[in-house]
Amino acid sequence: MTTRAPLSAALQGCTVVIAVDRRAGELTAALERHGAQVRQAPALTIVPHIDDEALLERSRELIAVPPDIVVATTGVGFRGWMEAAIEADLADDLERAFSGAQIVVRGPKARGAVQQAGLTADWVAESETSSELGEYLVAQGIDGKRIAVQHHGSGADGLDELFEAHGAEVVSILVYRWGPPADPVAVHRSVVQTGAGEVDAVLFTSAPGAAEWLAEAQRAGAVEGIRRRAASGRLLLAAVGPITAGPLTEAGLAVHIAERGRLGSLVRSVVAYFGGGGAPAVATVAGRLELRSGGAILDGRYTPLSRAGAELLGLLVDAAGAVIPRERMQEALPRAGTSANAVEMAVARVREALGAPEVIKTVVKRGYRLNLEEDA
């Protein structure tokens, strides 16, 4: 077995949670090639309907009475539908039933799945939203039309109701549904660690998955910590598109949306954020300083730090040159109060690890502060 060479060290020291079920292994491999430590914690799993008789019955209905319009909302869903048709020996009949239909799709992934099935998409929603797709069909007139609508996992996109309200006959196709997480403990741990500052980025690829991950964060009392860190830029919440980001933005969380609705674009956006100067930084007397959950980057060199060391350095960075009292720093240490010299020893270890003792300045009888470039 060959190991692929690293592409960069842009994510060195970063812990990334992927709240994703589908293609989680592919995402993990891509992030690890840039130096990230990845933790998989999908809040929902995809439950396919391959053997669901209801799906096959809807397919037979469309073969018997072909649709005027076929709507594909997701690539994985449309592909799963075709795979189910192949398993039931209905694929050729279904393709003939679609041959005279107008095929409209919600985005590039769905268009790719349609093309893979040997069909051609007549129109693609540029915004990749169900609302744009619905507006397009309503504007062209659908009264009396028979429309087959393939839904995403939750099925609650409002298209069925919209089309029926404008006189269409709708055949609703649900190809997969969302199920409970495979590892609820991993999901709980991920939200707690994210709120506590032990995670640098969380990636989302579906709105239901984002909503459930957020619900777990609420149950764990971690939302405020997540919101505070995301607002400061120390935590990157990254979504594959605006629909996926919806539950997070509605909760008041700062979310980065990938420029294009692709997993590759999502990975590139994370790499660019941490490796291209997007993450917060301060100019110290020893160079530019950036924090990571696993350490710090000072003047372009990454240094791993203990959890306590990273926490202390984070306090100093957040203070932006102001003095942090010893008592406040001691509170941030594990087993605070076990030693009167605990803070002094912890600061000494951080100075030694960074190889730049001048970065942290001792303020006699008061505490410590970061030695910024402007001070010099």
Q: Are 258 and 239 in contact (CB under 8 A)?
A: yes
- Taking CB atoms within 8 Å and a gap of at least 24, the contacts of 90-94 are 90/56, 90/59, 90/60, 90/63, 93/63, 94/59, 94/62, 94/63
pLDDT band at 2 (very low <50, low <70, confident <90, very high): very low
Q: Are 159 and 134 in contact (CB under 8 A)?
A: yes
The answer to whether residues 171 and 192 belong to one domain is: no
**Could you say which of 135, 153, 178 is where a domain stops?**
178
Percent of the chain residues past pLDDT 70, beyond the cut: 93
The answer to whether residues 159 and 251 belong to one domain is: no
* Mean pLDDT to the nearest integer, 46-68: 85
Q: Count structural domains, the chain.
A: 3
* Mean pLDDT to the nearest integer, 243-248: 85
Which range (43-52, 70-79, 162-171, 181-190) has the least confidence? Answer: 43-52
Q: What is the DSSP string of 348-376?
A: HHHHHHHT-GGGEEEETTTEEEE-BTTT-
Dist. CA 42–CA 258, nearest whole Å: 19
pLDDT at position 47 over 80: no
Q: Residue 96's domain is classified under what CATH number?
A: 3.40.50.10090
pLDDT at position 237 over 70: yes
- Domain membership of residue 153 (yes or no) is yes
Which range (84-88, 189-193, 259-263) has the least confidence? Answer: 259-263
Mean of pLDDT over the chain: 88
**Could you say which of 154, 178, 202 is where a domain stops?**
178
- Domain membership of residue 189 (yes or no) is yes
**Could you say which of 178, 205, 235 is where a domain stops?**
178
The answer to whether residues 187 and 210 belong to one domain is: yes
Q: Please report which helix (H) or strand (E) contains residue 138, including its range.
A: helix 130-140
Could you give the residue ranges of the DSSP H alpha helices within 182-262? 184-195, 207-219, 223-232, 242-250
Predicted confidence (pLDDT) per residue in 98-120, tens digit: 999 999 999 888 898 899 888 99
Tell me what pLDDT residue 96 has: 94
- Domain membership of residue 325 (yes or no) is yes
Tell me what pLDDT residue 155 has: 65
pLDDT band at 1 (very low <50, low <70, confident <90, very high): very low
**Residue 239's domain spans which residues?**
15-44+181-275
The answer to whether residues 245 and 286 belong to one domain is: no
Predicted confidence (pLDDT) per residue in 259-279, tens digit: 765 778 889 999 999 998 889
The answer to whether residues 266 and 290 belong to one domain is: no
The answer to whether residues 95 and 22 belong to one domain is: no
Tell me what pLDDT residue 339 has: 63
pLDDT at position 188 over 90: yes
pLDDT at position 338 over 80: no
Dist. CA 306–CA 26, nearest whole Å: 29
Predicted confidence (pLDDT) per residue in 287-337, tens digit: 999 999 999 999 999 999 998 899 899 999 988 889 998 888 888 777 655
pLDDT band at 154 (very low <50, low <70, confident <90, very high): low
Dist. CA 38–CA 334, nearest whole Å: 25
- Domain membership of residue 1 (yes or no) is no
pLDDT band at 342 (very low <50, low <70, confident <90, very high): confident
